[in-house]
C-alpha cells in the first residue's frame, strides 16, 4: 500500500505496507461507459477506457508496482496523508481519498473481537479503510473504474471533462436550490457555457452535503464572495447574473482559499491532491 503525503516536493509517495490485501472481493465485472445522466446500481462502476492516454492520467502508475522504489512512511508524515493506493493482484491500483472522517488522532476506541473481550485502545493515529476503494486503475486493461467524479477529481484533475454541458432543465433545477434566490431578470437561458460545464459537478456535491455542510457553505460564501448578497434572514444568496453564478459554483467547489503567507485571498483554477 502506498500513501500520498501533503508536501510540495515531487517525491510525495510513501510505502505504508507490503504483502497485505487491503480491499477484499472488489468486483469490477459490472461496469459501463460514463454517463452523467445514469445512476449506478449496486455493484456497478463507471469505466474510462484507454486511461493511460488521457491527459489526467498519472505517470507514476504507468509501470508495474515495485515497493523498493518508495521510501517508508514516517510517523511525522501521518497527519499529511491525502489518499491511499493499494496495489493488488500486481496490476490493480486501488485508490481511497482520505477525508477528516477517515483520520483520527489521539482517540480512545472500544475494540471488539471474536477472540477476546472488549478492550479500550488509545491510538495516536488511526486511518479508517473503506469497504471498497473510490477508484481502481487496472493496469493490464488500461481502464479506470470509479463511481463519482467529485470524489476522484482531486486524484485525477481534468477528469471532470467527462461531464456533459448542463441542459436548460438541469440549469433550472440547480437554480431552484433552496439557498439560491434569483435577482433581476436572470434566468436559466442566460447561463453561459463555462458555468454549464460546472453545474453538474456542483449539484452532485451539494446533493451530498449534510445540514452542517450547508451552513459551512454559506459562511464560506460570505467570507469569499460577499457580492452574492447573502441574506441571513431569508437564508439565501442572491444570484443576479452569470458572474455571480460562477462565484456561487466556485464556492460549492471550494475554489477560493487564503494564502498561508500574507493572508491573500486566491482562486484555484485547478485542484490536484496528487
CA 182 centroid distance within chain: 29
Contact 76, 266 (CB under 8 A): no
With cell 493511460, the residue in question is 52
Residues with Cβ within 8 Å of residue 141, at least 6 apart in sequence: none
Q: In sequence order, what E strands does 58-217 have?
A: 71-72, 81-88, 92-97, 103-111, 119-127, 135-138, 143-146, 180-182
Q: Are 251 and 239 in contact (CB under 8 A)?
A: no
- Record the cell numbers describing residue 105, joined without a space: 488522532
Question: Is the separation of the CB atoms in 51 and 145 below 8 Å?
Answer: no
List strands edge to edge, sheet with 71-72.
31-33, 45-49, 143-146, 135-138, 92-97, 81-88, 2-5, 13-15, 71-72
- CA dist 245 and 217 (Å) reads 15
Residue 59: per-residue pLDDT:
77
pLDDT number for residue 194: 86
In this prediction, residue 222 carries a pLDDT of 86
Cα–Cα distance, 89 to 116 (Å, whole number):
32
φ/ψ of 160, rounded to 5, equals -65, -10
Tens of pLDDT, residue by residue, the chain (274 residues): 676 666 555 457 776 666 677 888 899 999 999 887 788 999 999 999 999 999 999 877 776 666 767 777 777 666 667 788 888 887 899 999 887 555 666 667 777 777 777 777 776 667 778 889 999 999 999 999 999 988 898 889 889 888 888 888 999 999 998 889 898 889 999 999 889 988 988 988 898 888 899 888 888 988 898 888 777 777 888 899 999 999 999 999 888 888 888 888 888 765 554 4
Q: How many CA atoms lie within 13 A of 45 on its CB side?
A: 21
- The span from the CA of 192 to the CA of 215, in Å, is 28
Q: What's the pTM value of the predicted model, to 2 decimals?
A: 0.64
Q: How many CB atoms lie within 10 A of CB 149?
A: 20
75 vs 2: CA distance, rounded Å = 14
Q: What is the largest CA-CA distance in the chain?
A: 68
CB 33 within 8 A of CB 47: yes
Amino acid at each position: 500500500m502506498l500513501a500520498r503525503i501533503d508536501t510540495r516536493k515531487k517525491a510525495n509517495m510513501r510505502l505504508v505496507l507490503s504483502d497485505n490485501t487491503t480491499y477484499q472481493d472488489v468486483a469490477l465485472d459490472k461496469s459501463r461507459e460514463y454517463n452523467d445522466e445514469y445512476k449506478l446500481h449496486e455493484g456497478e462502476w463507471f469505466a474510462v477506457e484507454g486511461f493511460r492516454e488521457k491527459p489526467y492520467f498519472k505517470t507514476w502508475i504507468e509501470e508495474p508496482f515495485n515497493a523498493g522504489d518508495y521510501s517508508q512512511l514516517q510517523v511525522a508524515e501521518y497527519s499529511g496523508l491525502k489518499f491511499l493506493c493499494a496495489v493488488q493482484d500486481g496490476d490493480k491500483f486501488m485508490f481511497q481519498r482520505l477525508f477528516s472522517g477517515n483520520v483520527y488522532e489521539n482517540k480512545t476506541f472500544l475494540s471488539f473481537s471474536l477472540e477476546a473481550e472488549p478492550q479500550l485502545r488509545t491510538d495516536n493515529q488511526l486511518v479508517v479503510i473503506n469497504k471498497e476503494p473510490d477508484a481502481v486503475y487496472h493496469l493490464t486493461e488500461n481502464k479506470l473504474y470509479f463511481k463519482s467524479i467529485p470524489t476522484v477529481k482531486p486524484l485525477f484533475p481534468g477528469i471532470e471533462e467527462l461531464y456533459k454541458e448542463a441542459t436548460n432543465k438541469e440549469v433550472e433545477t440547480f437554480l431552484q436550490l433552496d439557498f439560491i434566490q434569483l435577482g433581476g431578470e436572470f434566468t436559466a437561458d442566460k447561463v453561459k457555457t463555462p458555468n454549464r460545464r460546472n453545474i453538474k459537478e456542483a449539484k452532485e456535491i451539494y446533493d451530498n452535503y449534510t445540514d452542517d455542510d450547508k451552513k459551512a457553505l454559506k459562511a464560506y460564501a460570505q467570507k469569499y464572495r460577499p457580492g452574492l448578497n447573502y441574506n441571513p434572514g431569508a437564508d439565501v444568496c442572491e444570484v443576479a447574473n452569470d458572474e455571480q453564478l460562477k462565484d456561487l459554483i466556485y464556492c460549492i467547489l471550494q475554489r477560493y482559499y487564503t494564502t498561508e503567507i500574507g493572508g491573500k485571498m486566491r482562486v484555484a483554477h485547478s485542484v490536484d491532491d496528487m
